[in-house]
């Protein structure tokens, strides 16, 4: 499961801006 989450974070980072990506990483990491 951890690998899938990491891939999702990286994929989101590529699509969204740095600021938006940071929010997603924090949400996924905190949630």
* pLDDT surpasses 70 at 7: yes
HEC sequence for 1-31: CHHHHHHHHHHHHHHCCHHHHHHHHHHHHHC
* pLDDT surpasses 70 at 12: no
Euclidean distance between CA atoms 12 and 21, whole angstroms: 6
CA-closest candidate to residue 13, choices 25, 5, 31: 25
What's the longest Cα–Cα distance across the chain? 25
| Full-model pTM | 0.22
Reported as a single tens digit per residue, the pLDDT across 16-27 is 556 666 676 666
Where residue 2 falls among pLDDT bands split at 50, 70, 90? low
């Amino acid at each position: 499961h951890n690998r899938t989450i990491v891939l999702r974070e990286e994929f989101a980072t590529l699509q969204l801006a740095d600021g938006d990506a940071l929010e997603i990483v924090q949400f996924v990491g905190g949630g």
